[in-house]
Amino acid sequence: MKVAIAGGGIGGLTLALALHSAGIEDVDIYESSPEFRELGVGINVLPHAVRELDELGLLGSLAETGIPTAELTYYTKTGQRIWSEPRGIRAGYRWPQFSIHRGELLGLLYRAVLKRLGPEHLHPGHHLLSVGQEKSRVWAEFMSRRGTARIPRVEADLLVGSDGIHSVVRQMIHPGEGAPKWNGITMWRGLSEAEPFLSGRTMIMAGVTRRRVVVYPVSRKHEQRGKALINWVAELKNADGRPMSGHDWYFTARLENVLPHFSSFKFDFLDVPALIRNAKVIYQYPMVDRDPVDTWNKGRITLLGDAAHPMYPVGSNGASQAILDARVLARELALQSSVEDALAAYDAQRRPATAKIVESNRKAGPEVCMEIVEERAPQGFSSLDDVITQTELQEISKKYKVAAGFDVDTLNSRPSLSVPREQIA
């Protein structure tokens, strides 16, 4: 079976590794950028996704690079604590949760693909123009991003669109869908060197949906030196019905566009304005998603990751869900009797599951506890128990974990997604 993957991001690279692990080795990745680059800022990889990367032999590399998140804590806009819960191993999972630089995660995935599949299977500088299918063969046409001669048409038995929120493959399957949906929130992100805060492995969120910050450390190397490389996200609902701002990793903002909105987020345990001032680069993009669709498949073409289920960055699920997509798709391709049957099984498992997360994230997901407290006590509180009960907070947290597929009991006990060796031809 020959597989063509459009897009060399986290989802596409993980799929290549998952296919190789499942005995499918004729796999090529076509990436639009002229080279595979370690771009971005921080992301979280949740325990259910770390399990899959562990089974692909990458746990050691993750541990050398990222921070094993110890706890997640929610605060009000004035720094009053609402809820705190352990994460990863401390929460009873068999696998950690990692906060990691997106570029470093891409780098370790890329190096693993390079080693296991070989450089001849990686094709940077291939910008996807169109895709189609003739009988049992799919094809893709690319434009060169390197100024070289015309790229010949690529043919394969299966094409996977892992080409992001502006997916060309998705446009072919669902023509006329239009642009991503913007909720009016602008997001600014940066990385800043600073002293460790709280436990040194804490992820915090403070504020409410219309104005909040998310902060966590991402670098094991910095931690070993007694410092912290801190990823921060500042979100502000500053538009309704206006055109969307830029949406790529190259759109940057000026300090004065960001800092005034978050000058009050100076807490006794963390100085957020100082983090914003210390960032070398501030990236800006809108908070967008798309409506869930009725299928990801068309013949022998399917979608994966942000191309399939772009979601708001709530609950730290984007990259994790792409990793799960990759593992399920590889397993079904290895075990089903035909490509079509495999894609149908993949779609039946992953599409409804991710649709629930998209819808939950639109309602603030687990972060809804911050909205509830703000609504009930906008001026703050003397006793949290007078505002929201611990039982209510626990139920919010558990409900989201169940919906997103990473509640402790289910994850720890479910069978592996790896293909048994005896079933690999």
Separation between Cα atoms, residue 6 and residue 12, nearest integer Å = 7
Q: In the predicted model, what is the mean pLDDT of residues 375-395?
A: 97
Who's near 58: CB < 8 A, 6+ residues apart?
17, 108, 109, 112
Position 267: which residue type? F
Of the candidates 194, 229, 270, which has an alpha carbon nearest to the alpha carbon of residue 65?
Answer: 229
pLDDT tens per residue across span 18-30: 999 999 999 999 9
pLDDT at 422 exceeding the cut of 90: no
**Ramachandran angles phi, psi of 17, nearest 5°:** -65, -40
Question: What are the angstrom distances between the C-alpha of 346 and each of 22, 69, 106, 170, 366?
Answer: 15, 30, 24, 16, 27
pLDDT tens per residue across span 394-415: 999 999 999 999 999 999 999 9
Residue 242 is predicted with a pLDDT of 61
pLDDT at 315 exceeding the cut of 90: no
Residue 246 is predicted with a pLDDT of 59
pLDDT tens per residue across span 2-19: 999 999 999 999 999 999
Q: In the predicted model, what is the mean pLDDT of residues 308-336?
A: 95
Q: How many CB atoms within 10 Å of residue 176? A: 5
pLDDT tens per residue across span 189-243: 999 999 999 999 999 999 999 999 999 999 999 999 999 999 999 999 987 756 5
Q: Which tokens in the block code for residue 287?
A: 């908070």
pLDDT tens per residue across span 333-376: 999 999 999 999 999 999 999 999 999 999 999 999 999 999 99
pLDDT tens per residue across span 29-63: 999 998 887 778 999 999 999 999 999 999 999 99
250 or 338: which carries more pLDDT confidence? 338
Question: What are the angstrom distances between the C-alpha of 294 and each of 42, 173, 329?
Answer: 32, 11, 18
Separation between Cα atoms, residue 324 and residue 419, nearest integer Å = 14
Residue 264 DSSP class: T
Which three-class secondary structure state does DSSP give residue 146?
Answer: coil
- Lowest-confidence range among 72-76, 286-290, 300-304? 286-290
Q: Give first-to-last CA distance, the chain, whole Å.
A: 12
Of the candidates 49, 26, 116, 22, which has an alpha carbon nearest to the alpha carbon of residue 333?
Answer: 22
Q: In the predicted model, what is the mean pLDDT of residues 292-311?
A: 97
Residue 346 is predicted with a pLDDT of 98
CB 193 within 8 A of CB 228: yes
DSSP letters of 33-63? SSS------EEEE-HHHHHHHHHTT-HHHHH
Residue 423 is predicted with a pLDDT of 80
Beta-strand pair 3-6/228-237: unpaired
Residue 250 is predicted with a pLDDT of 63
Residue 244 is predicted with a pLDDT of 64
CB 306 within 8 A of CB 164: yes
Q: Which tokens in the block code for residue 20?
A: 């190789």
Residue 106: CA atoms inside 13 Å, Cβ hemisphere, count?
Answer: 18
- Predicted TM-score (pTM) of the model is 0.96
Separation between Cα atoms, residue 420 and residue 378, nearest integer Å = 54
Residue 358 is predicted with a pLDDT of 96
pLDDT at 64 exceeding the cut of 80: yes
pLDDT at 159 exceeding the cut of 60: yes
DSSP letters of 190-230? EEEEE---TTTTEEEEEEETTEEEEEEE--HHHHHTT-EEE
Residue 421 is predicted with a pLDDT of 82
CB 133 within 8 A of CB 172: no
Separation between Cα atoms, residue 33 and residue 145, nearest integer Å = 7
pLDDT tens per residue across span 92-147: 999 999 999 999 999 999 999 999 999 999 999 999 999 999 988 999 999 987 76
